[in-house]
Structures are given as C-alpha cells and as structure tokens.
C-alpha cells in the first residue's frame, strides 16, 4: 500500500524526484484506514519512498494505525531518528521495520550530493 508519493528532499543521486517530481503528495488518511480495514491484513508493506518525510503527517497516520493492531514496515530517511515522539508512535502503530538509506556518515559528502542534513 502507498500512503505518500515522492519525497520532500531533492538528493542529486536519487531517482524519486525524477519519477515523481519535487512534490511530496499524500493519500488522505481516512481513506488509508478504510482500505486497511477492508483488507483485514495483519501485515502491511507501505511502499512509500519516505513514509516519515513529513513528521506531522506521519504522526497523524501512525496515530490512526494504532487501533488496527497490524504490523507494518516501510522506508524512511534517517531524519526520522530525530523525533522520539514519531519513533514511539511508529512502534505503537505496529512498525516492525524501516529501511533507511545511509549514504554517508560524512556531513560534507551528504551536502555535496544535495542531501539535507
């Protein structure tokens, strides 16, 4: 299932903005929750390129997922680690894994390729 399309970042090395443009778009959360209820799935793969690209929106989504008691995984940028509340909501909502790209530990290298640090 996809809850967002695109990514708010414009890293030089990444193809996401080439495919989807520089607009980070969201599916309405009530529609996502309704679809998940209809699917009756216990495990969901969210195929978003960066499910945590907008912290406020991710918190809203994760809060709405909690009552569904499902397990899920997705992709996010390492920036998600900067918000303890967001990580706790992800855990409470059933997150069992996040794929995170670690392009470099060097701030200088990240800045050189347009990665927001």
The pLDDT of residue 104 is 76
Query: For the whole model, what pTM was predicted?
Result: 0.87
Query: Quick check: helix, strand or coil at residue 85?
Result: helix
What is the end-to-end Cα distance of the chain in Å, rounded?
28
**CATH number belonging to domain 4-112:** 3.40.50
Q: What are the residue ranges spanned by the domains of the chain?
A: 4-112
pLDDT digits (tens, 9 = 90+) for 53-83: 999 999 999 999 999 999 999 999 888 999 9
The pLDDT of residue 117 is 63
By C-alpha distance, which of 54, 55, 44, 115 is closest to 85?
A: 55
């Amino acid at each position: 299932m996809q809850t967002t399309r695109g990514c708010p970042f414009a890293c030089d090395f990444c193809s996401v903005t080439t495919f989807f443009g520089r607009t980070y778009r969201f599916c309405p959360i009530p529609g996502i929750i309704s679809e998940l209820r209809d699917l009756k799935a216990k495990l969901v793969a969210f195929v978003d390129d960066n499910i945590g690209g907008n912290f406020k929106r991710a918190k809203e989504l994760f809060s709405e997922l909690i009552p569904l008691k499902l397990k899920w995984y997705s992709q996010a940028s390492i920036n998600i680690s900067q918000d303890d509340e967001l990580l706790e909501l992800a855990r409470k909502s059933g997150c069992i894994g996040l794929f995170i790209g670690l392009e470099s530990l060097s701030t200088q290298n990240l800045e050189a390729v347009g990665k927001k640090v």
